[in-house]
Every structure is written in structure tokens, then in C-alpha cells.
A and B are shown apart, each in its own frame.
Chain A
Amino acid sequence: MKSGVNKRPELKRGNLMAVKIFIAADRLDSVLEKLATKIDLWIPALLKGDKSGPTGFVPYEVGKAPAFDRQTTLPLKKVLLPQEETLLRFEYKKDPEGAPKTTIALDDHREARPTLVFGARSCDVRALTTLDRVFANGPYVDPYYVERRKNTFFATLVCKENDVKCFCSSVGGGPADMEGSHLKIVQVDDGYVVEALTAEAQSLLDGLGDAPDAARDAKAAEMVKEASGRRVGDVDTQGCAEAFRNRFPQTDYWVQMVSQCLSCGVCTYVCPTCYCFSITDEVENLKGERLRSWDSCMFYHYTLEASGHNPRPTKLERYRNRVGHKFSYIPEKYEGLLGCCGCGRCIRSCPVSIDIRQVVGHLKENTNEQ
């Protein structure tokens, strides 16, 4: 992968025999249970009882059924960038000799445990290339992120559940895109064919099952071939960085595109590539924690300055920034990399059905028509 975060040796095709196993659907539970003894395991799961309810990635517990039947409501970014994270703990200590002098004790102890996300999707994993550029590749390296990143593995489903709101192929990905993944999961009729894509991932599969028989292997290959050929989405992102700059001052365009925005944070919190955070000191008496928590550029306080001035006072400037960040600023800064993985979650969860594809798709047109 491009990021340079994962320095693990990649398997060279033809050099080593690809390690593949078959997990029968009714054995999935016991396989996950076994996996969980080797590594911290996260799976996509229902967050609320009923089967159509919201889903997200959660630490595996025995008996917890993975939800592989659709993309999760919440992305997996929280595995690497938790919504709330203690950066350090501090405690002021009064000097018994010379009050009011105080000393301060700092504790930034942290631990990143080897973790496997079993049942990620291509879009979610691709999104990490954006996070890597920001947190891992300098000039500022975030040790909290990097340590977790190095220790996290992804077993990625070849996606067959894309819907009308998905557009991964428009932003460089695809339903069978395995960039950044360590294991490939193909759902066949009666189970899963899981293939190791890196040397390290091979050991995770040890003792979990036998190689698939020829029929299932062929079926899996056929499904991968089909998914690889499937184009999901038709947003034209060519030249969007420059087109955005031209659109930037056209207030009418933004009024037409996003007047319905409520300026809530749903789109940013369900977004796998949105990484903005806030840092606050949460103090009680003499003890406290420095907290990093997700922030959202949709919020007024995001850009509120100490003077009281706010350079993005309304939702128009804020939404414009969201589009600009993903389709102009990031590509200009990082050699064309888009800050969007095409998962469509922002479209799916928007309370007023704003469609970012429409906003981006119209950047280039010289008309103000919606």
C-alpha cells in the first residue's frame, strides 16, 4: 500500500501458494471464537435488536452474530480513531513545603493491541489511505493513530451489497478492491472462502479450516471476477479540485446546492474519511484528562475563534468546506488522492437527503442549475 504505515511484506503472487480456507456458514461462530483467542477481534454487528436496525463495528463477543448482509451504518474508523480518546492524564500536586506551588504529573501511557477487523468493506479500508496521509505520513505523525494502525489487520468482504447510493468506483475504489486489506472474504452459497493476502495474515488462518474444494474455489473466483468488473457509481471526479476552486466564490451555487442542510454532524460522523477532531481538557479538581474527540466541520463551534469571529458562520460555508476538503484540498495536497471513498453513507444518513454526488457532479458545469 502507498501509505508506508504497513511495512509488512506483501505476498508475491506465484511466489508462495496462496493460503485459502473455507468456513462453512454454520461454523462461522466457532471460527470467530477461535480467531478471538489469537487477536482482538472486531466484527460488523447490529447495534439494536431488530435486523434492519443500525449497524457498526464492535468488539467480538461469543455468540455475537456478524452482520455481513449490508454496509454498516457507522464506518470502522473508530477502531483507529475512537470518537473519544484520552491522550494523557494529568494531576496537579500541591507542594507541601511551598504552597501555592504545584507540580504536575503526566501519564500518557497507551497500548495498541493487535486487532483484526473481520468483515470490513473495500470502501472502509480504502478510506484509511486518507487517514494515513494525515496521521502517519508526516509532517506530523500521530503516535496514537500510528500504533493502532500498525497493529490492525483487515479481513475484507468482496462486496455484493452495493446500492444506488454507493459510488466507490468513481473515487478510485471498487467492490473487490483489496488495497490495504490483509485477508479477502468471499461469500459463497454455503459459507466463506477466506484468502490470506499478506504473509502475516496467513498465520491468522492457521487451524481455522481446510482449503475450499474446487467447486467453491471456482465459485469464489467467479464472484471476485464479477465484482472486479462491476462499476459502482458514475460521478465524474476528473478535475474536481480545480472546478471546486472556480465554484468557491459562487454563493448562488452553494445556496442552490445546500440550502436544505441542517448543519448537523451526521455526514461527518458516518464518514470513513472525516478525521477532524477537537482536543479538550476535562478536569475535575486537581486531576484531569486531555481528551481527543471527533469534531465536525458542520458545527458552528468548529471554526469559532477565540475573538468571537467565525470564518464559516453559516451552513453554506461549512458545507462548501466539506466538499472542498474532500474533492479539492486533499487532492491538491496529496497528489490527487480524494478524501472520499464513495461509501455513500453521508447520502444514506442525511436527514434531508443531500446527495454529495450531485454537488460534486455539478462543480464543473458553468450553470447554476440544480
Chain B
Amino acid sequence: MLENDRNQLHKLVEEALPELDMMIGWAESCDPLQTTPVFIRDAKSISKLTLGPFCSQNLAGYLVKPPALDAPPKPDAKPIGICVKGCDSRSLVALIQEKFITRDRVRIFGIPCRGTVDFRKVAQRVPLANVKSATMEGDSLVIDDSGTPLRLDLEEVLARKCLGCRYPNPVIQDVVIGQEAKPRSSSLAATYRDVAAMDAKPLEERLAFWQSELDRCIRCYACRNACPLCVCQDRCIVETREPRWLTQRVGIPEKFLFHFIHAMHLAGRCTGCGECERVCPMDIPVTLIKEKLNKIMEEMLGYSAGLDPEAVPPLLTFNPGETEI
């Protein structure tokens, strides 16, 4: 099935490429459990494009960062083709809402998603150093570690964000590759299960949890740079010297402040793609902070980010008659 989808993608990209500036997709990397983003400009590179549960990167962010996109684009610039999973498509919608990109500037190849593999969960079962190859067989992930192939149930090694996924199918797309995927969650309760579990703990325990988790942060800013909606990038206030808001110390207060600034700047904008958490080299569950805010947005304002390109995110507008807050 995956093979068919891949062939379909190659065929569709081949047809579309002459009209595109470039095609952004995933390619295999030296790590069997992770892909690498690839920027296709010529037909002979199309075969590099791959699909499947290792395509974890959210590519939407590349649309607003050079050199994938010249900013500002030339008036006669051709559209950019991009592969998006369900969650990635919501980031794309949010970027369109915030006018970072226009709808006609992108040709969206929608990929219904059955979930992406979290290599850390695989590492709990087999040392990553031993993983020679990984392939999907039905619902199983088959790991070759040069012994007897290890079969893991895909559900067991999915990224945390996938477990409560309501939108596995892209919410915006021009073409769709493969069969529609079934949502894992249809309720707020299921989507925000981890937030509820955290909320159930006493305040002191929550504080201790975050202090201990954030203590590991090395201020590498991978979470920020991988975030498709962290659009300040080089102007981020945690790094600017003039004005200087934050010291260069690596104590818990600085790290705490950085992560909560990051989260607050995403309130009502974060689509829960989980990139910040996926890229963290120190395995800090930073998406959980944003999930808490997303939950508040949904409960108080009935707003889920990145679903409707025409909608205005609640914190980007002002409604004097607001009754909910």
C-alpha cells in the first residue's frame, strides 16, 4: 500500500514539477527511522521522495524560511509543491491565515497519515545503534537489528502527538495521495489526555516536574527553529542583545522563561504538530506546554488553530463584545 502511494506521489510530482518552483518532500536519510527533508527541482530527483511513518518532519516551516522561499517572492514566482500530513496541513493553514504565504503560492500534496514513528520509543525496545533497517508490514514496524527481525506494533511506537490525533487527513490540499486515514481521537478529552493527567497533579508537583524537565534544556533552540509558526526566528527576544531581555545563563529560570515565552507566543496559533518535542535532543515534553494552551483556547474560545484559512485566530483580533473571557 505504501509502495502504491509512493508511486502515485512520484507520478503526480512528475506531472506537476514543470509548473512548480520546487517540490518539498521527504527523502530517506542515513537513519532508517527518520527521513530528511528534500527540495526537488529536477525530474531525476523525484525518485528520492518517500512516504510512510518515518516522515516525521513538518515541512510547512520551510515555506517561510530562506532559501526554500525567497522573501519577498518574485511576482512571477511559480508555486511551491509541498507534502503535508494532517498536522502539517494545519500549520500551513495557520501560515496562510497570518499572511506569511498565499494559498496560490503552494501546491499541496496531501498525505493521509497513519501516525509517525517516535524513534525514542523504538529505542526503548532495541538499542538504536543496532537498527539496520526498518520497514512497515501491515500494522507492524519490522526492525532488522541483525538478529531475528523484531516486530513492533506501530501503535506502540507512535509519537505522543499522534495518539490523540483528530486530523490525520490534511485539512487543505490540492491532491491527495492514498487512502483516507482514520482519526485516533474524536474528542477533546482524548486529544488532551496528557494535559488532563498533568492538571490532575498538585501545583507543587507540576512545578517540580517542569523544573526537572526544563533543567535538561541546553538552549539550543531546536524547538523554536523547528516550529513552523515561530516566525520571529532571528529576531527572537531570547537572543537579541538590544534590547536584552534574557541573560545567557543556563539556569532553570532562564530556560523556564524561554519555554513559556515560546508557548505564550503560540497561544491560539499552535496546531499541535509536535515538532518542538520531536526535535528536542534532551527529550523534554515541550509540546505539552503548548497543548495546555491549545486546550484553553478550545474550551474558552471554541477555537482550534489551523483549520480554516479564512478564520482569524482569536488573539490576532479584538472583539469588544467578547463574552467568553
Contacts and interface: CB of A to CB of B under 8 A. Distances in A.
A230 interface: no
Nearest to B127: A70
Contact of B226 (A84, A262, A315): A262
A53 B283 contact: yes
A145 interface: no
Contacts of B222: 262, 264-266, 351
A300 B248 contact: no
A69 B127 contact: yes
B67 A164 contact: no
B136 to A, nearest CB: 19
B124 A353 contact: no
Interface stretch (B29-37, B162-170, B181-189): B29-37
Interface residue SS majority, chain A: loop
Given A263-B225, A264-B222, A347 B36 contact: no
A351 B239 contact: no
Interface string B108-151: 00000000000010011001111010000000000000000000
Contacts of B61: 262
Given A265-B220, A351-B57, A316 B67 contact: yes
Contacts, number: 134
B276 to A, nearest CB: 10
Interface string A273-301: 00000101010000000010100100111
A365 interface: no
B278 interface: yes
Contacts of B120: 52-53
B129 A161 contact: yes
B241 interface: yes
A353 B29 contact: yes
B29 A355 contact: yes
B239 A260 contact: no
B74 interface: no
Given A264-B221, A300-B234, A270 B249 contact: no
A51 interface: yes
B216 A165 contact: no
A73 B222 CA distance: 15
A264 B225 CA distance: 6
A282 B220 contact: no
Contact of A163 (B62, B129, B241, B278): B129
Given A54-B216, A351-B278, A260 B38 contact: yes
Interface in B210-243: 216, 218-222, 224-226, 233-234, 239-241
Nearest to A69: B127
Interface in B39-58: 39, 45, 57
A47 interface: yes
B280 to A, nearest CB: 9
A70 B225 contact: no
Interface in B237-275: 239-241, 247-251, 275
Contacts of A69: 127
A352 B216 contact: no
B279 interface: yes
A125 B67 CA distance: 37
Contacts of A47: 216, 282
Nearest to B61: A262
A282 B124 contact: no
Contacts of A349: 281
Contacts of B225: 262-264
A255 B249 CA distance: 34
6 contacts: A48-B282, A53-B120, A259-B37, A260-B38, A347-B30, A351-B279
Given A54-B283, A296-B220, A351-B57, 7 more contacts: A52-B124, A265-B222, A266-B220, A269-B218, A280-B241, A280-B248, A354-B36
Closest 3 CB pairs of A and B: A163-B129, A351-B279, A353-B29
Interface of B: 29-31, 34-39, 45, 57, 61-62, 65-68, 120, 123-124, 127-130, 132, 216, 218-222, 224-226, 233-234, 239-241, 247-251, 275, 278-279, 281-283
